Chains A and B, each alone.
Chain A
Amino acid sequence: MKDWVHMYSDDLYTWAFYKTSHRETAEDLVQETFLAALQSLETFQNKSDPKTWLISILSNKIADHFRKSYRSILKSAPVDTFFDGNGTWTKEYRPQDWHVDDEQHLLDRPEFGQALAGCLDKLPESWRLSVVKKFLEQKSSQAICQELEITPTNYWQILHRAKMQLRKCLEVHWFRK
């Protein structure tokens, strides 16, 4: 198993990091993969390629991780600071005019990329993952819902709440500066 760690852990880590875009999460998932592999070593037949086998364990761990994080969002009670009792924007959260004249120019600016990354990191981990899942993999909503075992309504509501938080963060840290 030690040899396998030397040979394959970078591959697995790269894969996990690509899927979650988060260092600690990727590291934990890779570690769990090797520990799980060690426990079920007898089910591994030398016929198959160890790397393929390890990747398949890791893929299951990643899928589980996403499913768990969505479930934890669904369990949490929505905190509604954005609107008053009538559903009107509160003064603090009412979207201001961002005065974006040249969108492409904005998207190309590295500092803006950093501001966006900073705001993504400020999201609670489960919310961040919901955004990563949609925009990194660019799968259809239907495919994502099936994979995560959630309803389309839950799915768009989660994305909506994540984007509300992102929007506010960008407004404060970039557009209002």
Chain B
Amino acid sequence: MLSCKKASALTDKKTVIGLTWIESVQVRLHTSACAGCANYVKQTELIDNMLYNYFGELSKTNRVMLENSTLKERIISRL
């Protein structure tokens, strides 16, 4: 049986580079018996969605040109 530490780590490994067949069975076995890790699986997915959503919005607003006159002065004073 996997530890919670290993099960939660594999849960995040899954979304980045994928799991082997054995690993995914091990994670499923563990989370079916562990409420904390079952919550972790749901929450890490939710966090991914939050972050895609958040940075998606951010990248839209950031296309607007930002002005920073303090920075301009700071750079000129150091040239």
Contacts and interface: CB of A to CB of B under 8 A. Distances in A.
Interface of A: 1-2, 5-6, 9-11, 13-14, 17-18, 21, 27, 30-31, 34-35, 38, 80, 82-83, 86-89, 94-98, 100, 103, 107, 112-113, 116-117, 131-132, 134-136, 138, 141, 152, 155-157, 159-160, 163-164, 166-167, 170
Contacts of B54: 113, 116-117, 135
Interface in B37-79: 37, 39-40, 42-44, 46-55, 57-59, 62-68, 71-72, 74-76, 78-79
Nearest to B67: A10
Interface of B (DSSP majority class) = helix
A163 B47 contact: yes
Given A27-B68, A89-B4, A107 B50 contact: yes
B79 A38 contact: yes
